[in-house]
C-alpha cells in the first residue's frame, strides 16, 4: 500500500518534542515528553498498530492542511458539500497536544477517536483526553477544545501566545526577499527541532521514514548529530537567531566531556543501541523499523569542522564564545592528532572507512577556523590542505574524488567552494562541480553517491546536495542554472512547506525522515545566497 504523501503532514511542537498532523485530521506521530521518547501515536509507521488521534467529518468531504501565516499552529480545513466548513487548529504546549475544533460555515458533524498505543505500539493504554470517542456537531462560530495530555489552564491563551511568539521571533530575523515565506517556514521548523531544555537540535523528529518506499534504509534521527546540529545553529545564526545558536553551544560545552562523538542524546548522553521493532509494518511496508542508531560509534572527522565553523561565525557576530574554549581546545587537539586517519564520513556508510576527501577538507575547516579564533593551528591547517591537494585529486589532477582510494564522485564535494577550501573560480573546483552533477545528477536533483555503502537498496536524491549544487553554481557565476536548481527544490515542499531528507527525482515524492533539518537549512542558505542576484 502506498502511504499518504509526506506533503500531507504538518509539524507542531512545544520545544521538547513534536507531533505530525495529517491532512485527514489524524495525529500520526507523537512521542510525548521528548523527541526520543517512545511513541504513543505511530500510524506514520503502521496504520493498523501504531495508534492515532483522529478527527474528521462523518460525511464525505474535502480536506486541506497548512499553517496559520508565520506561525507553527497547524490548520486543517474540512469542506462538506451542502453542509458547511469546519477547521482544526493544532498547537502543542507544555506537554499537551491541543486541538481546537471550529465551525466556520453551516453545520458540520465531526467524529473524534483516540487510539493510544504506547511504547511504539507495543502497549495498549489510556491517554488523557478531554473528549470521549464519539461525534461533535459544530455550528458556525462554535469552538470545542480537544486536549490530549495535561490540559493547560487557558488553551485559547496558549494558542494566541504561540502565534504572537512565532511572529515576534520571525520579526527579529533578517529574511531574504527571495522565497521569504519558505525561508520563514524553514526557520520556524528548525526552531521546532531544538530541544529547548537542553539546547540540542535533532536531525529530524521521526524514525524510520524510508529513503525509498519498501526499502530498508530506515533510521532513527531523533538525536543530536554534532555536524547536523552545528549546521542548523549556523543557519539560524545567519538569520540573526543568536539566542538559539548560543543555547546549542552551551549544550555542546556540557555534552562534549570526552572525545567528540558523532551524536548524542538530547541531554548529552549515549545514543541507544540500534534495534528493530518487528511488530510494526513500516511506512509503506518499509522494514525494519528502527530505534537507536548504529552509527553512534562511527568515526566522522567532518563533525569538528562543522562545529568550529559555527563558533567562528558566532564570534564574528560579536558573541562571547569563551565558555567553549576548554571544549574546543580538546576538539582541536583531536583533529590535529586524528586527521590523517581514514573515517566513515558524512554519509555514514556501513562498508568501512576511507580517506574521505570531504572529511579531510572539513578537518582543514576545523583547523582554519580554530586559527581564526586564536588557536595555534595555522601550520597544521596548511598541512591538511597540502595533503588533500596531493592525494584528493583524480589521476589527471583535474577534479576531486570521493576518497584518496576511491575515484568515484561524492555530493559532499559540492561544498568545496562553500567552505572556502579553494576559490570558486579554481578550475579544479569547477571541474568537481561538473563531475558531481554529471555522475550523480538526475535532472536538477543530486544523489549523495553511487557506490555500495554496505546497506543495500535504493534511495532518493538528497535534498541538501541539490541546494549545495545551486549554491556552487551561483559561486561559479552560473546564476541562471543556480536559480533553476533552487526553484526545482523549492517546489518540493507541499502545502505545509516542510521538506524531507530525500526525493524521488521522477515522481517528485518526498522520502526519508520528516521534516529534515538538513533540507531546511539548505533552503535557507541557498535563498540567502541567491537573494537579489
For residue 401, what is the domain's CATH number?
1.50.10.10
Last-in-domain residue among 121, 141, 166: 166
**Helices marked H in 373-455 — which ranges?**
378-391, 427-440
pLDDT digit string, tens, across residues 471-496: 999 999 999 999 999 999 999 999 99
154 and 189 share one domain:
no
Asked whether the beta carbons of 366 and 332 are under 8 A apart, the reply is yes
139 and 115 share one domain:
yes
Reduced 3-state DSSP string for 466-533: HHHHHHHHHHCCCHHHHHHHHHHHHCCCCCCCCCCCEECCCCCCEECCCCCHHHHHHHHHHHHHHCCC
Asked if residue 329 belongs to a domain, the reply is: yes
Domain count, the chain: 2
348 and 456 share one domain:
yes
Mean pLDDT to the nearest integer, 496-514: 97
Asked if residue 72 belongs to a domain, the reply is: yes
pLDDT digit string, tens, across residues 405-433: 999 999 999 999 999 999 999 999 999 99
pLDDT digit string, tens, across residues 379-410: 999 999 999 999 999 999 999 999 999 999 99
High-pLDDT (> 90) share of the chain, %: 98
Mean pLDDT to the nearest integer, 434-452: 97
79 and 195 share one domain:
no
**Peptide bond before 288: cis, by omega within 30 degrees of 0?**
yes
Cα distances from 411 to residues 78, 117, 209, 302, 375, in angstroms, run: 42, 40, 22, 14, 31
Mean pLDDT to the nearest integer, 446-468: 96
pLDDT digit string, tens, across residues 280-335: 999 999 999 999 999 999 999 999 999 999 999 999 999 999 999 999 999 999 99
CA-CA distance, 46 to 283, in Å (whole number)? 6
Last-in-domain residue among 151, 166, 181: 166
What is residue 247's predicted lDDT score, i.e. its pLDDT? 98
Q: What share of the chain is helix, strand, coil (3-state, %, to 5)?
A: 35, 20, 45
Mean pLDDT to the nearest integer, 138-158: 97
Asked if residue 1 belongs to a domain, the reply is: no
394 and 510 share one domain:
yes
Asked if residue 199 belongs to a domain, the reply is: yes
pLDDT digit string, tens, across residues 76-100: 999 999 999 999 999 999 999 999 9
pLDDT digit string, tens, across residues 373-383: 999 999 999 99
298 and 392 share one domain:
yes
42 and 67 share one domain:
yes
> How many alpha carbons fall within 13 Å on the CB side of residue 203?
22
201 and 299 share one domain:
yes
Asked if residue 118 belongs to a domain, the reply is: yes
Whether 178 has a pLDDT exceeding 90, the answer reads: yes
Range of the domain at 51: 6-166
Give me the chain's average pLDDT, please: 97
117 and 260 share one domain:
no
Helix, coil or strand: residue 281: coil
Last-in-domain residue among 166, 185, 215: 166
501 and 479 share one domain:
yes
Asked if residue 54 belongs to a domain, the reply is: yes
285 and 205 share one domain:
yes
Whether 532 has a pLDDT exceeding 90, the answer reads: no
Asked if residue 88 belongs to a domain, the reply is: yes
162 and 196 share one domain:
no
Whether 1 has a pLDDT exceeding 90, the answer reads: no
Amino acid at each position: 500500500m502506498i502511504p499518504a504523501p509526506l506533503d500531507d503532514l504538518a509539524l507542531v511542537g512545544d520545544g521538547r518534542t513534536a507531533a505530525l498532523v495529517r491532512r485527514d485530521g489524524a495525529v500520526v506521530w507523537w512521542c510525548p515528553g521528548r523527541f526520543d521518547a517512545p511513541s504513543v501515536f505511530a500510524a506514520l509507521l503502521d496504520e493498523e498498530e501504531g495508534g492515532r488521534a483522529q478527527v474528521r467529518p462523518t460525511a464525505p468531504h474535502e480536506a486541506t492542511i497548512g499553517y496559520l501565516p508565520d506561525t507553527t499552529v497547524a490548520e486543517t480545513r474540512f469542506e462538506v458539500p451542502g453542509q458547511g466548513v469546519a477547521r482544526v487548529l493544532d498547537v502543542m504546549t507544555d506537554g499537551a497536544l491541543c486541538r481546537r475544533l471550529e465551525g466556520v460555515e453551516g453545520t458540520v458533524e465531526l467524529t473524534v477517536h483516540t487510539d493510544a498505543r504506547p511504547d511504539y505500539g507495543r502497549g495498549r493504554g489510556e491517554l488523557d483526553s478531554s473528549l470521549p470517542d464519539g461525534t461533535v456537531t459544530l455550528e458556525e462560530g462554535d469552538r470545542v477544545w480537544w486536549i490530549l495530555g495535561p490540559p493547560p489552564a487557558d488553551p485559547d491563551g496558549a494558542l494566541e501566545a504561540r502565534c504572537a511568539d512565532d511572529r515576534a521571533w520571525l520579526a527579529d530575523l533578517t529574511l531574504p526577499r527571495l522565497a521569504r515565506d519558505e525561508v520563514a517556514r524553514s526557520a520556524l521548523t528548525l526552531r521546532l527541532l531544538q530541544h529547548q531544555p537542553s539546547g540540542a537540535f535533532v536531525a529530524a523528529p521521526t524514525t524510520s521514514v524510508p529513503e525509498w518506499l519498501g526499502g530498508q534504509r530506515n533510521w532513527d534521527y531523533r538525536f543530536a548529530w554534532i555536524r547536523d546540529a552545528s549546521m542548523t545553529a549556523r543557519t539560524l545564526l545567519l538569520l540573526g537567531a543568536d539566542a538559539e545558536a548560543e543555547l546549542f553551544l552551551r549544550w555542546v560545552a556540557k555534552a562534549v566531556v570526552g572525545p567528540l562523538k558523532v551524536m548524542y542524546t538530547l541531554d548529552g548522553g549515549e545514543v541507544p543501541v540500534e534495534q528493530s521493532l518487528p511488530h510494526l509494518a513500516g511506512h509503506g511496508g518499509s522494514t525494519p523499523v528502527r530505534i537507536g542508531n548504529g552509527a553512534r560509534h562511527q568515526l566522522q572527522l567532518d563533525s569538528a569542522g562543522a562545529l568550529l565553523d559555527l563558533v567562528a561565525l558566532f564570534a564574528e557576530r560579536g558573541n562571547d564564545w569563551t565558555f567553549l574554549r576548554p571544549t574546543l581546545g580538546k576538539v582541536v587537539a583531536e583533529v590535529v592528532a586524528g586527521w590523517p586517519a581514514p573515517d566513515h564520513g558524512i554519509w555514514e556508510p556501513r562498508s568501512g572507512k576511507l580517506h574521505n576527501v570531504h572529511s579531510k577538507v572539513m578537518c582543514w575547516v576545523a583547523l582554519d577556523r580554530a586559527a581564526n579564533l586564536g588557536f595555534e593551528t595555522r601550520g597544521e591547517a596548511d598541512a591538511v590542505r597540502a595533503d588533500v591537494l596531493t592525494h584528493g585529486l583524480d589521476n589527471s589532477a583535474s577534479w576531486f574524488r570521493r576518497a584518496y582510494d576511491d575515484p568515484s564522485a561524492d555530493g559532499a564535494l559540492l561544498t568545496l567552494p562553500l567552505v572556502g577550501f579553494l576559490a570558486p573560480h579554481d578550475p579544479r573546483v569547477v571541474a568537481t562541480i561538473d563531475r558531481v552533477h554529471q555522475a550523480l545528477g538526475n535532472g536538477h536533483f543530486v544523489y549523495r553517491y553511487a557506490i555500495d555503502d554496505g546497506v543495500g537498496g535504493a534511495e532518493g536524491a538528497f535534498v541538501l546536495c541539490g541546494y549545495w549544487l545551486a549554491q556552487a553554481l551561483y559561486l561559479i557565476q552560473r546564476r541562471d542554472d543556480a536559480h533553476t536548481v533552487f526553484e526545482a527544490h523549492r517546489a518540493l515542499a507541499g502545502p505545509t512547506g516542510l521538506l524531507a531528507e530525500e526525493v524521488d527525482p521522477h515522481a517528485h515524492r518526498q522520502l526519508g525522515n520528516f521534516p529534515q533539518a538538513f533540507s531546511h537549512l539548505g533552503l535557507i542558505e541557498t535563498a540567502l545566497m541567491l537573494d537579489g542576484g
